[in-house]
Structure 1
C-alpha cells in the first residue's frame, strides 16, 4: 500500500514538473546572420536577433511580432555605452528567455494569442528601428542601421512562414511601442494583401510636452536621435512630407495618417514620461520631484495637480489622433506604470488592472477580433484600486 501511494505521489510530482516546464519553457535566441551582408546590424555591427515560439493548432498561420523596448541614444557617447550591453549588441543578449503576457502560451492567461507564432524582436539599434546611415566611423565602429534591421527581421520571418499569415499583429513596449507605430503601415505593406494586419503599442505614445520649467526637452532629444541615426528615410512619409523629421518621432503626428488599425495601451500617468518628459532631472536641479518620481504615493498635492494637468494634455493629444478612425482603439488606465502587456500580472490575471471591468488582454482581443468597441479611458488618479503602481529606487 505504501509503495502504491509513493508511486501515485511520484506520478503527480512528474506531472507537476511537466506542467511547470510547459508554462515557463525557455525560448531560444535566433541570430539573423543573413542580415549582416545587408548591413542590417546592431550598433556594434553584430547580427540582429529575435526569440521565436512557434504557433500551433488553429494559430499556426497567425503571427504576433513584439518589439522590445529600451530607450534611445542621441549622441556617439550614449550609443557607444549601449554597445557594452544587450541594448547595442546581440553578443550580450541572453540565449534564452521566458515569454509571458501577450506572448504567453497558456490559453487561460492569453486566450486570444496563446497559440499564435509569437516573436520577441530584440532591440539593439537605439533608434526605434528607424536608423540608416551608410558610413561607419572606424574610431567608434557604430552602425546606425535600425531601419534595415527591421526589414531584415521581417524578411527572415516571412521566409519562415509569415508569408502565409492569415492574421498578424505588430506590437511593442516603450521604444518598441513607438517602433510599432512608426513601422505599422510598413509592416502591413510587407505582408500578403489578404492578411488581417493590426498594430498594438504599449507605453509608446510619447507626447511632445514641455517640462515643469517650460522647456522643450523631449522635442530636442528626439531631434538629436533622428539626426544622428539618419532616421528620416524610415519615418512615415505621410508625416515627413508635412513636418521636420524630429517631429515625426511623436505618435501624435503619425497616427492620424495611419492606414492600419492600431490599439494604444498606456498609463495616463506613464512613469517614464513623468520622469523624463514632465520632470527630467535637468528641469529639476534641486531634486524636488525625486521622491515623487520614485512612487506616485510620495507626490505632494501640488505635484499631483501637475500630473493631473499632464494627464489631460495626454488625453487631448490622444483623442485628437484616434478620432479619425473607428478601427483604432485604446486602453488608458490611471496607473503610474510603464509597459503593461508583456507582464502577466498586468496583461491578464485575477488582480490585473481593469477599466470598465475589462482587463488589457480582453480589451485588445475584443478590438483585434472586432467583438466590441474598444476605447476605454480611465477616471483620474487615485480612482482605480486595481492599478499596479510602479515604485522606483529614489537614490
Structure 2
C-alpha cells in the first residue's frame, strides 16, 4: 500500500504542475484524493520544471487491477487539462535500413508507442495468409496490396486487446512499450530474399523483424527486462519461426538481460489431410503442406536452427507448430482455437449458409481431437473449443474463458511462473514441463468438450446468410448435429443432452 501511495503522489504532482489552479478546485472530490494531495508537498522539491518522469509500475503487478482503477479515477478527477492529453496511438516509423523492404520494394516499418519507465516490450507480428509463387503473389497484390506494400499505411494505429493502452481492456500489459509490425512480406515472416528485378517480389519477413529489433535497441529495448514477441495467424506462426532468432540476436549484441518470450495466436496449423483434395491453384484451397513446400523455395526461408537440423532438406516441417515447438529454446505461450476457421478453410471445409452433412461434421470433430492431441505437451496453452480465428487483439478477449480462466489471467500466471522460477533456465522446455504450476494460477488450459462452441464463453455465432445471432443449439443443428443420435450414442436422455449443451457442459 505504501508503494501505491507513493506512485499516486507522483502522479498527482505531475498533474499539479500541469494545471495548479485546476487541481486546487478539484480538492474535496473524494477522501482518497484528499489523502494523496496532503502527501504531495513532501515530493515537491524532488521535481524540477514541468517535465514528465518515468514511472515503473511493474513492481505492483501483483495487485495491478486495483492499482489501475485508483490511478485512472485519480487522473480523471484531477487532470482537466484535456488539451495536453497524451496520445495513446502507435506511430509509424519506416526502417532506416532502406535495403529491408516490403514485397513491392516500398520501405518496411513498424508502429511504436513507448511507455517511459516500463521495462517490458511487446512486439506484435500481423497476420494475413501468404502467397507462394508469381501467380498467387500477383493476385494478392491486386486484391490485398496493403499486405505487400507500405505505400498506403496510416500514420498511426490504435492498439486493441493485448496492444491496448487501456488497463480495463488489457489489465497486465497495458503499460508495456507497444510495437506493431505490419505484415508486408507474404512469407509467414520467414523470408530473406531481396527484390531481384522489375516485376519480382522481395520476401524479407525474417529480416524485417531483425531490423526492427535493431532499431528498438536504440529506443530503450536495450534496458528491457522482458521482450514478448507476439503474433496472430501467419504472425503466430512467425513467432514460432523467429522467437529463437530474436533471442540469439540480443545475446550476440550483448543484451543478455532481456528475457525473450513468445505468444503464438492462431498459428498452430496442422499438416493434415484435406477434407476434399484440390489442385494447388490458389492460396485458399491449396493444402498447407503443398503451399508451404512451394513457399519455402520461393521465399528463401530461414527457420530456427534446431528445427532445420531436425528436418534437413524438409525445412517446411518447421512451419507446423507441433513440429517446431519441441525444438525451441525460448518459452512460448500458445493460443489456439480447437476449431480454427483458417485451418478448416485450407482443409476445404467451407461453412457457408447450408448445413454441413455428416461427413463434414465427423471431419470437424476429428480435427479438434487431432489438434488437442498435439497440445498435450505444451506447458502454456489456452485452447477454447470454439469455431473462430485470432484472439489476442480482440477488444473482448477478456470474455473468453477455458475452465473459468481468461486468457489475460493465464498470461499473467505464465509471467509469474517465469519470474518466480528464476533458478530455472527460461529456455529449457523439458525443465518447464517438470515444474509445478503456481497454485490457483493455471497455464495449461485446453477444453475437453468435443464439438464447436461447447464452451459457453465462445464468441457470438451469426448465421452467414442472415447475420442473425444463433444459439448454441441452433448452431449445432446448422452444423448437422443430431441431438437424438448423439444422445443415443452417449446413452442419455436427449433432454439432458440439450441441457448440457445449453450450459456448455
Q: Shared topology, TM-score over 0.5? A: yes
- Of 154, 165, 173 in structure 1, the residue corresponding to residue 232 of structure 2 is 173
C-alpha distance in 1 between matches for 2:315 and 2:401: 36
Bigger Rg, structure 1 or 2: 2
Bigger Cα displacement from structure 2, 234-243 vs 63-72: 234-243
> Per-residue deviation at 1:124?
0.2
CA distance in 2, matches of 1:112, 1:210: 39
Determine the structure 1 residue equivalent to 2:51: none
State the match for 1:364 in structure 2: 411
- What does residue range 59-98 of structure 1 map to in structure 2 within 5 Å? 60-84=118-142, 85-98=145-158
Q: Which residue of 2 aligns with 1:377?
A: 446
1:50 lines up with 2:113 in the alignment: no
Deviations 1:214-265 (A, max 9, x none): 678210011111111111xx11121222321222211221100111111111
Q: Distance in 1 between matches of 2:362 and 2:353?
A: 16
Is the Cα contact below 8 Å between 1:182 and 1:235 reproduced in 2? yes
Q: What's the TM-score once normalised by structure 2's chain length? A: 0.65
Mapped contact 1:44–1:142 kept (Cα < 8 A): yes
How many residues are paired up?
353
* Whole-angstrom CA distance in 1 between matches of 2:366 and 2:348: 11
Does the 8 A contact of 2:267 with 2:336 survive in 1? yes
Change (3 A) 1:128 1:392: farther
Contact 2:89–2:113 (CA under 8 A) maintained in structure 1: no
**Are 1:316 and 2:373 matched, yes or no?**
yes
Tell me the distance in 2 between the aligned counterparts of 1:342 and 1:53: 16
Instruction: List aligned pairs for 1:94-173, cutoff 5 A.
Output: 94-134=154-194, 136-138=196-198, 140-173=199-232
Q: Which runs of 5+ in 1 are unaligned?
A: 1-7, 281-288, 293-297, 323-327
Pick the aligned partner of 1:353 from 385, 391, 400: 400
269, 287, 300: which one aligns with 1:230: 300
The secondary structure found in structure 2 opposite 1:55 is coil
The answer on 1:340 being equivalent to 2:391 is yes
Deviation at 1:81, TM superposition (A): 3.8
Name which structure has the greater RCO, CA cutoff 8 Å, separation 6+: 1
CA distance in 2 between partners of 1:334 and 1:279 (Å): 17
The aligned residue for residue 262 of structure 2 is 199
Q: What is the alpha-carbon distance in structure 1 between the residues aligned to residue 450 and residue 310 of structure 2? A: 34
Please point out which of 317, 322, 334 is paired with 1:264: 334
Is the contact between residue 206 and residue 242 of structure 2 (CA under 8 Å) also seen in structure 1?
Answer: no
Matched position secondary structure for 1:376? strand
Match of 1:291 in 2: 353
Q: What per-residue deviation string (whole Å, max 9, x for no partner) do you get for residues 31-52 of structure 1?
A: 11x221xx31100111112111
CA RMSD of aligned residues (A): 2.8
Offset of residue 383 of structure 1: 2.2
For the structure 1 residues 97 and 86, does the alpha-carbon distance in structure 2 shift closer, same or farther, using more than 3 Å as the test? Answer: same
| Alignment check: 8 A CA contact 2:383 2:446 kept | yes
Relative distance call for 1:336 and 1:61 in structure 2 (3 A) is same
Listed as ranges, the gaps of 5+ residues in structure 2 are 1-25, 27-75, 279-285, 418-437, 467-505
Aligned-pair CA distance for 1:77? 2.5
Taking structure 1 as reference, are residues 18 and 302 closer, same or farther at Cα in structure 2, changes over 3 Å only? farther
Q: Give distance in 1, aligned partners of 2:227 and 2:403.
A: 27
Q: 1:80 and 1:269, CA in 2 relative to 1: closer, same or farther beyond 3 A?
A: same
Task: State how far apart, in whole Å, the 2-side matches of 1:268 and 1:16 are.
Answer: 47
Greater shift after overlay, 301-310 or 153-162?
301-310
Residues 103/17 of structure 1: CA separation in 2 closer, same or farther (3 Å cut): farther
Structure 2 counterpart of 1:185: 244
Distance 2:340 2:370 in 1: 13
Change in Cα spacing, 1:94 to 1:83, as seen in structure 2 (3 Å) is farther
What is residue 89 of structure 2 aligned with on the other side?
26
**What's the secondary structure of 1:73's corresponding residue?**
coil
Maintained 8 Å contact 1:206/1:250: yes
The structure-2 alpha-carbon separation of the partners of 1:169 and 1:390, relative to structure 1 and needing over 3 Å to count, comes to farther
Rounded Cα–Cα distance in structure 2 between residues aligned with 1:359 and 1:46: 40
Note the C-alpha offset of 1:393: 5.0
